[in-house]
Structure 1
Amino acid sequence: MESFIYQAQPARVIFGSGTAAQLADEAQRLGLKRLLILCTPGQAALAERARQWAGERVVGIFAGATMHTPVDVTERALRVVQDLHADGVVSIGGGSTIGLGKAIALRTDLPQIVLPTTYAGSEMTPILGETKDGLKTTQRSPRILPETVIYDVDLSLSLPSPISALSAFNAIAHAVEALYAPDTNPIISLMAQEGVRTLVRALPQLIETPHDPAVRSDMLYGAWLCSYCLGNTTMGLHHKLCHTLGGAFNLPHAETHTIVLPYVLEFNAPVIPDAMARLCHAMNDDDPVNTLLALERACRIPMALKDIGMPEEGIAGAVQQLLANPYANPRPLETIELTTLLEHAWAGTGSRAIG
């Protein structure tokens, strides 16, 4: 076995059904007395439930979180933090809300308690992507990682099946990229493989029985494992490409990750035999790329970048922007191959001719 370094992230995880009721206890454990609850405009009612769980410790709600964590939204939220003298933030929702909480924590070092309602996984990473002037930049810092994550299966029961599926594919992308990251290790590989196995098994069940608590529990468990893997390894082409497209064209986060995933995996497949072997085992199939495409079709979710708002004429600029500041990737990045990859993902062809 090759040498490796493994360092566990210090986040505290509470997992189960009805665990959101422990919010007040977690705030007390962290010594927090003035909580600001964060959410998107569409989840104000859920934020009010969080207010009830936390009780008198809540001093306000900021319902302005939005996709891709725009810097101007963070600045507005920071003014609320200062005006209310908040000593901690509670992020309840998906990646948009969690991203805002992380952006606030980066600037203030305030503790974060997160209650995820999707499977996106941002809560388990010390990674923050922020958007300004059409450019999305990413950074890592220990200040970004939430102190406590409360996974309550009950919060995901009403998540619509298409959104659930998109969120799950987003999580799978985290694990897939962790399998071939330059700093992966045997522990992360085991967690990634188990995360993919759990989600790939649960997705067809989700389509048949979307309100089954056992299925939702498996989905949440798999997503946690996958996102933990991302938080402990270096991101590669998949995440760089999605960040580029999301920032440049304001594309929806989960949809972009879902559509791009099989194409990037196909692109890297020839040079990642160990990762592909693990994926074959996790998916119980000798063709992980085809398995992903078939699952996406079965879930009836968007399968082409053109269908989520990306203009075809934006491909060349996206490739140029990607190559200007690439992430680590096992296969060298060249203009022609990346252009072909994006053309297939834009059209949704499912082509096996990327390489």
Structure 2
Amino acid sequence: MQPFVYNALPARVIFGSGTLSQVGREIQTLGCGKALVLTGPSQSKKGEVLKNDLGDLCVGLYSKATMHAPTNITDEAVELAQSLGADCVVAIGGGSAVGLAKAIALRTDLPQIVIPTSYSGSEATAILGQTENGIKTTQKTLKLLPEVIIYDVDLTLTLPAQMTITSGINAIAHAVESLYSTDSNPITDAAAEQGITRLAGALPVLSEDPQNNKARSDALFGAWACASCLGVTSMALHHKLCHTLGGTFNLSHSETHTILLPHTIAYNAPFATAAMAKAARIFGSASAAQGVFDLAKNLGAPYSLKQLGMKEEDLEQAADVAMKSPYPNPAPLEREKILSLLRDAYEGKRPL
């Protein structure tokens, strides 16, 4: 077997249905008793319910978590946590709420319990992408890793159909990039293949039957498997472009991942043939790029940047930003080729 290095991340994972009821016990296990609950505006009702359920274990609720973790929102949340004397944070919601918890932990070192309600995967990584002055940057440190992740399948049953698809393909992107990562290994490869398989099987079922409990369970487990890969391998061109378009042009996170993934796969495929052959087999397609594109489009997800409101004249700037700061990638990073990739994604062309 080929030599490899694998760094396991020290997080406690609780998976099942009805597991939200265990939050109070987990707060106490951490030695805490003054939790600040974090949500985004769309999940504020869930945050209120959780706050009330926790009773004296909760000191407040902050419900302004925002996509791409803008630093001014973090400033406000940190000030609230400190004024209330919070000794931990509990995030319930998608990537915005989880990202805010991590941003607070980076500044304060407060313990985190995170309860994802989508398939974004941020909860399983020690990585934070935050935005300031229109630029999204990433940091990687174990201070960002949540102490406890609670996966409750029941919380995903009401996830809207389109968000289910785009969030699921966002998760698949984590696994795909890990397959051709410079630090991939047999453990992450196995997790990536299992994650992609579970999600590729579950998403078509959920597009027809959003309340299908087995498919929801498979999708949530698949998202965790994909996220576990993201946490321990190096991401490449795909994530760089998504951060660029999200941070600079404020495009929706999961939808941007969904649209770009077929094109970034096609860009890298000639330099990662073995990895992409694994993904293609899972999708039952001639190529991994076409498999992802067809999956997304057939399930009604957006497939062009034009649909998200991206302006064609901004593609040049996006290519310039994507070329800044070196990062590992299977294929050489060439501005004109990246610009061509972005134009194909803008038009929604099916990869060759």
Provide the TM-score with structure 2 as the length reference. 0.98
Cross-structure match for 1:67: 67
For residues 27-46 of structure 1, what are the structure 2 equivalents within 5 Å? 27-46=27-46
My pick for the range that moved more, 42-51 or 117-126, is 42-51
Is the Cα–Cα contact under 8 Å of residues 120 and 167 in structure 1 kept in the other structure? yes
Q: How far did residue 232 of structure 1 move?
A: 0.6
For residues 27-176 of structure 1, what are the structure 2 equivalents within 5 Å? 27-176=27-176
Give the Cα separation in 2 of the matches to 1:331 and 1:312: 25
- When the two structures are aligned, how many residues end up with a matched partner? 352
Q: How far did residue 285 of structure 1 move?
A: 3.1
Give the Cα separation in 1 of the matches to 2:273 and 2:351: 20
Provide Cα deviations, 1:272-325, integer angstroms capped at 9, x if missing partner. Answer: 012112212322333221111111112111111111121111111111111121
Cross-structure match for 2:6: 6
AA matched with 2:189: S
Give the Cα separation in 1 of the matches to 2:47 and 2:172: 28
AA matched with 1:93: G
For residues 214-233 of structure 1, what are the structure 2 equivalents within 5 Å? 214-233=214-233
Cross-structure match for 2:262: 262
Is the Cα–Cα contact under 8 Å of residues 264 and 341 in structure 1 kept in the other structure? yes
AA matched with 1:191: A
Instruction: Provide the secondary structure at the position in 1 that maps to 2:13.
Output: strand
Q: How far did residue 48 of structure 1 move?
A: 1.4
Give the Cα separation in 1 of the matches to 2:66 and 2:114: 16
Cross-structure match for 2:248: 248
Cross-structure match for 1:182: 182
Q: How far did residue 153 of structure 1 move?
A: 0.2
Q: How far did residue 101 of structure 1 move?
A: 0.3
Superposition misfits of 4+ residues, deviation over 3 angstroms: none
Q: Gaps spanning 5+ residues in structure 1: where?
A: none
Give the Cα separation in 1 of the matches to 2:205 and 2:351: 27
AA matched with 2:67: M
Is the Cα–Cα contact under 8 Å of residues 166 and 255 in structure 1 kept in the other structure? yes
My pick for the range that moved more, 43-52 or 330-339, is 43-52
Q: CA RMSD in A?
A: 0.9
Is the Cα–Cα contact under 8 Å of residues 93 and 117 in structure 1 kept in the other structure? yes
Is the Cα–Cα contact under 8 Å of residues 284 and 291 in structure 2 kept in the other structure? no
Q: Gaps spanning 5+ residues in structure 2: where?
A: none
Is residue 282 from structure 1 mapped to residue 282 from structure 2 by the alignment? yes
Provide Cα deviations, 1:216-270, integer angstroms capped at 9, x if missing partner. Answer: 0011000000011000101100000100111110001000011000000001000
Provide Cα deviations, 1:56-97, integer angstroms capped at 9, x if missing partner. Answer: 100000011101000000000010011001000000000001
Q: How far did residue 41 of structure 1 move?
A: 1.6
Identity %: 49
Is the Cα–Cα contact under 8 Å of residues 99 and 128 in structure 1 kept in the other structure? yes
Give the Cα separation in 1 of the matches to 2:52 and 2:115: 14
Instruction: Provide the secondary structure at the position in 1 that maps to 2:233.
Output: coil
Give the Cα separation in 1 of the matches to 2:306 and 2:286: 29
Give the Cα separation in 2 of the matches to 1:51 and 1:77: 16
Provide Cα deviations, 1:132-184, integer angstroms capped at 9, x if missing partner. Answer: 00000001010000000000000000111111101000000000000001011
Instruction: Provide the secondary structure at the position in 1 that maps to 2:277.
Output: helix
Is the Cα–Cα contact under 8 Å of residues 283 and 292 in structure 2 kept in the other structure? no
Instruction: Provide the secondary structure at the position in 1 that maps to 2:60.
Output: strand
Give the Cα separation in 2 of the matches to 1:125 and 1:10: 10
Is the Cα–Cα contact under 8 Å of residues 22 and 53 in structure 1 kept in the other structure? no
Give the Cα separation in 1 of the matches to 2:98 and 2:351: 35
Give the Cα separation in 1 of the matches to 2:133 and 2:279: 38
Is the Cα–Cα contact under 8 Å of residues 156 and 216 in structure 1 kept in the other structure? yes
Provide the TM-score with structure 1 as the length reference. 0.97
For residues 306-317 of structure 1, what are the structure 2 equivalents within 5 Å? 306-317=306-317
Give the Cα separation in 2 of the matches to 1:291 and 1:335: 26
Give the Cα separation in 2 of the matches to 1:82 and 1:323: 39
Give the Cα separation in 1 of the matches to 2:215 and 2:261: 23
Instruction: Provide the secondary structure at the position in 2 that maps to 1:139.
Output: strand
Is the Cα–Cα contact under 8 Å of residues 174 and 229 in structure 1 kept in the other structure? yes
Is the Cα–Cα contact under 8 Å of residues 173 and 257 in structure 2 kept in the other structure? yes
Give the Cα separation in 2 of the matches to 1:241 and 1:287: 21
Give the Cα separation in 1 of the matches to 2:349 and 2:16: 40
Is the Cα–Cα contact under 8 Å of residues 20 and 53 in structure 1 kept in the other structure? no
Q: How far did residue 326 of structure 1 move?
A: 3.5
AA matched with 1:116: P
